Structure 1
Amino acid sequence: MGMKGKRVLITGASGGIGRATALLLAGMGARLALHYFSNEDSIDSILDEIEGKYGNDCVMKVKADVSRYDEVNAMVDAVLKRFNGIDSLIAVAGYPMRREVWFADPLGLTDEVLDKPWSVDLKGSYNCIKAIVPYMKRQGNGSIVLVSSTPSIAGDAHGLAYTLAKASIIALTRSLALVLAPEVRINCVALGSISSEANMRGYDEDQIGAMLKGIPMRRFGTPEEAAKAIVFLASDDSSYITGQVVVVDGGEVRV
Structure 2
Amino acid sequence: MYEACFNNSFTNELVYYVLLLLLLLISPFLFVWELIVAVRSSFRRSENMSGKVVLITGASSGLGELMAYEYAKRGANLSIIAIEEPESRLEQVAHTARELGSPDVLFLFADVSKVDECRMFVEETVKHFGQLDHLVCNAGIGPLYSIDIDVTKFVPSMDINFWGSVYPTHFAIPYLRKTKGKIIVNASAAGLLNPPKLGIYSASKAALISFYESLRYEVSPTVTIAIVKLGFIKTNFISAKHSNNTTGVRLRRDIDTEIPAMGADACAKAIVYGVCKGETSITQPRFIKAIFLMKFLFPELYRLYNKYIDSTFDKLRKG
TM-score of the two chains, using structure 2 as the length reference: 0.68
Instruction: Quote the residue 1:210 is aligned against.
Output: 258
Query: Aligned with 2:232: secondary structure?
Result: coil
Q: Distance in 2 between matches of 1:208 and 1:29?
A: 33
**Cα pair distance change 1:252/1:233, threshold 3 Å:** closer
Query: Aligned with 1:54: secondary structure?
Result: coil
Alignment of 1:88 with 2:110, yes or no, is: no
Instruction: Quote the residue 1:215 is aligned against.
Output: none
| Deviations 1:203-241, CA, capped at 9 Å, x for gaps | 537x644323xxxxxxx2122222123313432x21xx5
Q: Distance in 2 between matches of 1:169 and 1:233?
A: 19
Instruction: Quote the residue 1:249 is aligned against.
Output: 285
Identify which of structures 1 and 2 has the higher relative contact order when contacts are C-alpha pairs closer than 8 Å and 6+ apart. 1
| Deviations 1:4-27, CA, capped at 9 Å, x for gaps | 111000000012101110111101
Identity of aligned residues (%): 25
Q: 1:56-71 maps to which residues of 2 (within 5 A)? A: 57-71=103-117
Q: Distance in 2 between matches of 1:203 and 1:20?
A: 27
Instruction: Quote the residue 1:216 is aligned against.
Output: none
Q: Check whether the contact 1:145–1:233 (CA below 8 A) recurs between aligned residues.
A: no
Q: Distance in 2 between matches of 1:46 and 1:121?
A: 22
Instruction: Quote the residue 1:120 is aligned against.
Output: 160
Q: Distance in 2 between matches of 1:157 and 1:53?
A: 39
Q: Distance in 1 between matches of 2:137 and 2:62?
A: 13
Instruction: Quote the residue 2:42 is aligned against.
Output: none
Instruction: Quote the residue 2:147 is aligned against.
Output: 105
Q: Check whether the contact 1:31–1:58 (CA below 8 A) recurs between aligned residues.
A: yes
In structure 2, the gaps of 5 or more residues are 1-45, 241-250, 293-319
Q: Check whether the contact 1:8–1:89 (CA below 8 A) recurs between aligned residues.
A: yes
Instruction: Quote the residue 1:41 is aligned against.
Output: 88
Alignment of 1:224 with 2:270, yes or no, is: no
Instruction: Quote the residue 1:134 is aligned against.
Output: 174
**Cα pair distance change 1:229/1:53, threshold 3 Å:** closer
Give 1:143 deviation, angstroms.
0.3
Instruction: Quote the residue 2:298 is aligned against.
Output: none
Q: Which structure shows the bigger proportion of residues in helix conformation?
A: 2
Q: Distance in 1 between matches of 2:195 and 2:122?
A: 35
Query: Aligned with 2:89: secondary structure?
Result: helix
Query: Aligned with 2:182: secondary structure?
Result: strand
Instruction: Quote the residue 1:31 is aligned against.
Output: 77
Q: Distance in 1 between matches of 2:58 and 2:147?
A: 28
Q: Distance in 1 between matches of 2:229 and 2:52?
A: 24
Q: Kindly report the root-mean-square deviation, in angstroms, between the aligned alpha carbons of the 2 structures.
A: 2.1
TM-score of the two chains, using structure 1 as the length reference: 0.84
* Count of paired positions: 234
Letter in 2 for 1:104: S
Q: Check whether the contact 1:88–1:234 (CA below 8 A) recurs between aligned residues.
A: no
In structure 1, the gaps of 5 or more residues are 213-219
Give 1:165 deviation, angstroms.
0.3
Give 1:117 deviation, angstroms.
1.1
Q: Distance in 2 between matches of 1:103 and 1:116?
A: 13
Larger Rg: 2
| Deviations 1:80-135, CA, capped at 9 Å, x for gaps | 111101000011101242xxxx15128x651331x211111110111011000011
Q: Check whether the contact 1:76–1:131 (CA below 8 A) recurs between aligned residues.
A: yes
Q: Check whether the contact 1:192–1:249 (CA below 8 A) recurs between aligned residues.
A: yes
Q: Distance in 1 between matches of 2:92 and 2:151?
A: 36
